Structure 1
Amino acid sequence: MNRGERLHWWQTRWFVAFATFLAIVPLLWPDIPPLVDLPGHMGRYRVQLVYDQYPHLHQWYNFNWSLMGNLGVDLLVIPLSKVFGLELAVKLIVMAIPATTVAGLLMIAREVHGRIPASALFALPLAYAFPFHFGFVNFALSMGLALLGFGWWLRLARLGKFQFRSIVFLPISVLIWITHTFGWGVLGVLAFSAELIRQHDKHRGQDFVQSWVLPWFKAGIQCLSLAPPVLLMLAWRSGGHVTGQTADWFNWRAKMLWITQVFRDRWQLFDIASVGVLFLLLFKAIRDPNLQYSRNLGLSFLFLAAVYVLLPRIVFGSAYADMRLVPFLLAIGIIAIRPKPGLSMRGAATVAAIGMAFFGARMAATTWSFFLYDKSYDRELKALEHLPEGARLISFVGETCYNEWKMTRLQHVPALALERKLAYTNDQWSMPGAQLLTVRYDAAKRFAHDPSQIVTDVQCPREWWRPVPWALSRFPRDAFDYVWLLRPPEFPDKFLQGLVPVYTDDHSNSGLYRVDHSIPAPVIRPGELPLPKWERDLILNDGRQFNSNLPEPEASPSPMLP
């Protein structure tokens, strides 16, 4: 596109500002962004802020600062919580994530095409893709920063400021890596592919070596300013305290599932149809003589697609590694599309209007969805009004084996008891080297950390979750004073034996109960219930309930894979 052409409404700075604001609208109402893992992270943030002030936290958790590629929000909440309080600070940071994602995509589109193409508007709803809904906030923040960083990388190249770019991206690469390793890796892939095209175009028409081989070497040299985090990565992963498996390679069924679920939120038909709109546009750009793909972003798309194919589902104990890349892979593919010279502005305006309608519809649906989730959070959190500060709390959150499209997003709400009441909660992750916080409350035994808070009505295949009767009868009652049930499945009343109601919800099975230590736990008779996975170590003839030699899972199995 000619940069001297008259700007149209979707190419103006006013539109970029409006689109960026529209991206934060779904998060304006909820007090706590209803993202699955976020409440669990908020519990950790509270511990890091007050760990030295409350000795009882030392009995339950280890918290040690260390340099790792997963600290974005953890660091930002320190200064912001002093000004706004922790909950509002977290909300403001989370609101910035879709805003930076939208701004980054539009910046990249402008730098690559000279003007924002009308079709780029279809990529903007991907700021609210499934990885964001899941609450991978450090990852999502790093990706937003990586998109902005890539836009600036392209701009500095267009202005010929290569030396300045090399200097300034040394600290930028480190900051993005500290936010989350994934964002730094994606920035490297995008920057290298862009440099490869630039170097190839620079030497086009020369011999094979000059135009096809040498550009790979020169692109690598230009990207050396992004390399310093490699040393940080080696230091982090070589630490003796670091654990976590890397597994589940080339799971094609899962990879196809992540693509169809890229917009997964509440309404399955609407979410899948939205994915269909994106693929319709991607295929139309191949066949339509009026559209074409940018070679720059087209190569970036191919590189990211190769990374997606090669990336396993679990990396260093962190699940859904490949799933996280899907929305950004699609977004780069969408913003790579541009009209060929000669397309009428009337046609472009129609595409822009449809793209804006698509963006607006997705934001409206997400806003209503988040409002409904916020109402469910408010309802469940009433129980905390009756919980004393510093309580030893065990929580059980209902889940099913059926992989419903709409998740309850309550899986880590128990951590808000830690965030608000400094109570012990059994839903924290405990993966040394992946999180700053690990669990040390030995008395909790096999109910110490995630996913011990998840309960079901039956034993789910290939899951670590317990049926609720087993959880209520087997948790070590001497280690806890309160039990918090959040929408558990139906179960016989006998399993509430020894639990005194403190607060109950009349419209669900949710409630807060005080443990009466003078009353024994209910007994499960032989054959009364199927033996769940985590109880296979019961040895009935000598009365032992737990075998500490059994290995703990390093990553929660996927609740989305059938």
Structure 2
Amino acid sequence: MSRTQTAWWETRWFAVAAILLSCVPLLAPGLPPLADLPGHIGRYHIAAALRGSADLQQHWTFEWGLVGNLGVDLIVQLLSPILTAEHATKLVVILIPPLWVSGLILLARRAGGTLSPAAGFAFPLVYGYAFQLGFVNFMLAGGLALHALLLWVALAHRPVVRALLFLPIAFVLWIAHSFGWGMFGLLAFAAEWVRLREAGHGHRESLARAIGWCLPLAWPAALMVGAAPGDGALWDWKAKVSWLPSLLRERWKWYDVGCAILLFGLLWAAVRDRRLRFDPLTGTAALLCLIAFVALPRLIVGGAYVDMRMLAPAVALALVAIRVQPGHARFEASLAIAGTSFFVLRMATSSIAFLLFAGTQQAALEAVSHIPRGTTVLVLVNEACSSQWHSDRLGHIAGIAVARRDAFENGQWALADQQLLRPRHPQAEPYRADPSQLVYPASCEYKTTHFGEAVQGFDRGTFRYVWTLDFPAKPALADDVVLVWANNVSALYAVR
């Protein structure tokens, strides 16, 4: 059985519906409940308001410079005259899933002429683990990279013009996030290699020419000369294997792992089933991203989870690369129905999960109104082990106290080649910056802050309040640290 008319999943209305549906889970929560995002919001607020706030000036320094991690930072800064850091951040974050979904749709159509019937399976991967952790600069850069690839492919027969045009585009992608820029380099090389092979060039010639035409994209690497390399030996193979079931890690382990198994099973079926094939362009791009996932270490230049970030893009590109051989129209339609159903299901459950996360976060944030403006707060969060699937995402919630109260808290990042923010109060060490706010159970693989030692040993000259999250409230933590307010999530103590 074959089809002669445009299938419903290839129509414009389906594309528009998919793009709009992708942002639904983010609409209701006042604060997008992504793990690291509240901490980022605190930094955005400092960058925008530091000059006009004496309170912020006594707690922080911020000097703009060239680092490959400024995508959302710069957009929020541009919006700061009309929107608060919280509102601007929500606006930008809501646009990231549609950016990815539209990029996947347009790229699949550009590569294969039509949209893959399996595309619905790919769309929920924008809510993969990197997004759940709040790596919004990388996610923004990755979405931009998909759209940049469309332009790269469109200009394939004007290589000189393309090379000149992509000099600034490469810089924009690098500024958004260096790993997103690196991902685009892989995508562009894949597209160029496939084009040359389809034009009849041999393997070696195609490889050499593809490298040559992609060289103009590499110049932002010069901006990273002198950066601290990080612990390049951390190829954590146990962690790398754990990223596979964590592909769609969100809230319910059995459900998320089951969905990941379904996607990997579909890809395996596409390899084995003669009715299915992979589009060369998107399939090769997916393969290169998968190789990068295997080859990259966990830490590079201060960035963490580097390898994990490449997994969801690799799987998403592989899924939109799936094509059904002619003569199997009924099977093709069934695959499209299954993919669309999967997409709708994941958006529904993500919406529920985000509302639950947001409820816990809002309960925790009730403490913020009891924090005096401009004060200093030692934050201690009862953080779950990374092996525990569910987390209440409170590890960086204190960043909202920075945004709303111009406070100082000890959970901001201050890595030299990743952030431009620096905390003052050197006497507050070792409770001055991330991850000193995180208190893991003794059984965890991570060892950061010990609750009892922190309460007894923090600098009383620096911190005027202690804010505990997900610990039982007590009348006092110490003789000079007494309870002033509490609910079932947060407890705020004053230092007398």
- Fold in common (TM above 0.5): yes
Which of 150, 167, 171 is equivalent to 2:168? 171
Deviations 1:259-302 (A, max 9, x none): 11011110101100110111111011112111111222332222
CA distance in structure 2 between the aligned counterparts of 1:114 and 1:94, rounded to whole angstroms: 30
Cα separation, partners in 2 of 1:126 and 1:292, compared to 1, 3 Å: same
Task: List structure 1 segments (4+ residues) > 6 angstroms apart after TM superposition.
Answer: 491-494
2:479 maps to which residue? 497
Q: What amino acid is the match of 1:500?
A: V
User: Within the alignment, does 1:322 sit opposite 2:307 as a pair?
Assistant: yes
- 166-175 or 333-342, which moves further after superposition? 166-175
Q: What amino acid is the match of 1:104?
A: G
- 47-56 or 350-359, which moves further after superposition? 47-56
- 297-306 or 413-422, which moves further after superposition? 297-306
- 250-259 or 322-331, which moves further after superposition? 250-259
CA distance in structure 1 between the aligned counterparts of 2:419 and 2:265, rounded to whole angstroms: 40
Deviations 1:193-215 (A, max 9, x none): 11112112212xxxxxx522211
2:261 maps to which residue? 276
Report the Cα offset of residue 243 of structure 1: 4.1
User: Within the alignment, does 1:256 sit opposite 2:255 as a pair?
Assistant: no
1:229 maps to which residue? 220
Report the Cα offset of residue 61 of structure 1: 2.1
Residue ranges of structure 1 left out of the alignment (5+ in a row): 204-209, 517-562
User: Within the alignment, does 1:439 sit opposite 2:423 as a pair?
Assistant: yes
Superposition pairs of residues 355-394 of structure 1, within 5 angstroms: 355-394=339-378
CA distance in structure 2 between the aligned counterparts of 1:291 and 1:481, rounded to whole angstroms: 64
Task: Give secondary structure in 1 for the equivalent of 2:305.
Answer: coil
Does structure 2 conserve the Cα–Cα contact (< 8 Å) formed by 1:442 and 1:448? yes
1:135 maps to which residue? 134
- RMSD over aligned Cα atoms: 2.0
Identity score, percent: 38
CA distance in structure 1 between the aligned counterparts of 2:301 and 2:261, rounded to whole angstroms: 33
CA distance in structure 2 between the aligned counterparts of 1:143 and 1:512, rounded to whole angstroms: 39
CA distance in structure 1 between the aligned counterparts of 2:20 and 2:473, rounded to whole angstroms: 46
Deviations 1:402-435 (A, max 9, x none): 7320111000001111111000000011211210
Report the Cα offset of residue 254 of structure 1: 1.1
Superposition pairs of residues 147-158 of structure 1, within 5 angstroms: 147-157=146-156
1:511 maps to which residue? 491
Does structure 2 conserve the Cα–Cα contact (< 8 Å) formed by 1:36 and 1:411? yes
User: Within the alignment, does 1:486 sit opposite 2:466 as a pair?
Assistant: no
Q: What amino acid is the match of 1:57?
A: L
2:103 maps to which residue? 104
Report the Cα offset of residue 495 of structure 1: 3.2
Does structure 2 conserve the Cα–Cα contact (< 8 Å) formed by 1:122 and 1:278? yes
Cα separation, partners in 2 of 1:199 and 1:249, compared to 1, 3 Å: same
Report the Cα offset of residue 220 of structure 1: 2.2
CA distance in structure 2 between the aligned counterparts of 1:459 and 1:473, rounded to whole angstroms: 18
Tell which structure's C-alpha radius of gyration is larger. Answer: 1
Task: Give secondary structure in 1 for the equivalent of 2:80.
Answer: helix
CA distance in structure 1 between the aligned counterparts of 2:10 and 2:183, rounded to whole angstroms: 26
Q: What amino acid is the match of 2:34?
A: L
CA distance in structure 2 between the aligned counterparts of 1:224 and 1:316, rounded to whole angstroms: 22
Task: Give secondary structure in 2 for the equivalent of 1:299.
Answer: helix
Q: What amino acid is the match of 1:480?
A: F
Which of 408, 413, 423 is equivalent to 2:397? 413
User: Within the alignment, does 1:465 sit opposite 2:444 as a pair?
Assistant: no
Does structure 1 conserve the Cα–Cα contact (< 8 Å) formed by 2:473 and 2:491? no
When normalised by structure 2's length, the TM-score is 0.95
Does structure 1 conserve the Cα–Cα contact (< 8 Å) formed by 2:108 and 2:282? no
Which of 271, 285, 303 is equivalent to 1:300? 285
Task: Give secondary structure in 2 for the equivalent of 1:52.
Answer: helix
Which of 374, 390, 395 is equivalent to 2:379? 395
CA distance in structure 2 between the aligned counterparts of 1:398 and 1:191, rounded to whole angstroms: 43
Superposition pairs of residues 77-96 of structure 1, within 5 angstroms: 77-96=76-95
Residue ranges of structure 2 left out of the alignment (5+ in a row): none
Deviations 1:172-209 (A, max 9, x none): 21111110011111111111111112112212xxxxxx
Which of 178, 197, 203 is equivalent to 1:200? 197
CA distance in structure 2 between the aligned counterparts of 1:14 and 1:200, rounded to whole angstroms: 34
CA distance in structure 2 between the aligned counterparts of 1:447 and 1:400, rounded to whole angstroms: 19
User: Within the alignment, does 1:454 sit opposite 2:438 as a pair?
Assistant: yes
